[in-house]
Structure 1
Amino acid sequence: MNQSIILKRNIHSDIKLHFPRTSNINHPDFNYRITVATVSVLHVFICQLSLSSQLFVAYRNGRVDEAVSLGFLLCWIGGDLTNFKSCYLSNQLPIQILTAIFDMNTDIIILSQFMYYRLKNHKNKMIFQPQLFKDSITREKVRLSLWAVLCLVYIPYSFR
């Protein structure tokens, strides 16, 4: 039995798309689809494992900011955020959306680890100088707060 779906562009033309049934285990495409799905899921977990080693080494050393800069992290988060947004809005395959969600979660973990160790390692630096208030706030803290505000503003408005 030939299954076809007719999509109507306008009144005068029809497009026929043929989709073979592949739910049958004996069908030649069935093994191919199972293999593709397995490799896709394996790819997601291997990517997560490669990033988990970075998280573990940073945890063991107690320093993240020597290897990764904040600008790089924010660009990376922006790229993964636009990847997730495009996958979601263009109705991509669920494995692609799942990969984008995993990437976003990993980015959030890396950024939070970066901020935690940055603040922990700089806790001895004073915010306010007791003599004069002209240099009361360090340039680095202003830069970090601006990036945090930009991220908080960008994330909610990127889903519109």
Structure 2
Amino acid sequence: MKKKNIFLTILCALCIISSCIVTSFYPNVSTATPTKLPETLEQNLTAFILAKKLEQDPKYEYITFEKDTPEDIQKDIKKGLDSSLSSAKNIFENDPNFFYTCDVNNKITSKQFDVNIKKKDTRYYETLDSDTLNATDDIVNLINYNSEKYYEYYGGTYYCDGKPFPSYTLHMPSDV
């Protein structure tokens, strides 16, 4: 009987000690935030910025192709990009935990917090502008999400299904 009581006492003491150790780490874990945005989030934010620019200025030409770029590739790239822009816009506008204020040429659209939330209580709180994100890689990846072909950008050359083709230029807005 004594052995059973000693064993239960030691077991309870170990449980209490391990619980105290685990809970002592909690404040450090809860406040740790990544220093870099996850890649897919960065890609979708790039698309969201372009989508908001197009919403405010429908005539904005966000992509141009060199004259030798085949017509079918131009259509496929624009179709893939348009689909990605629409998808990113829907994701962020319908996410109950994402809030933004977007200023394009003094035309402001926003989705504001319902309550007064402090910056320190948020997971991410960033001020992004159109020059912040890595557009070339992000856009190639966004095109591939919604394309029938596979595109790559490597060593300054664009490839479609493994074959090089003339480049395109993405015009990220400078005023968002």
Q: Which has the higher contact order (CA 8 A, sep 6+)?
A: 2
TM-score by length of 2: 0.30
Structure ranking higher in helix proportion: 1
Structure ranking higher in strand proportion: 2
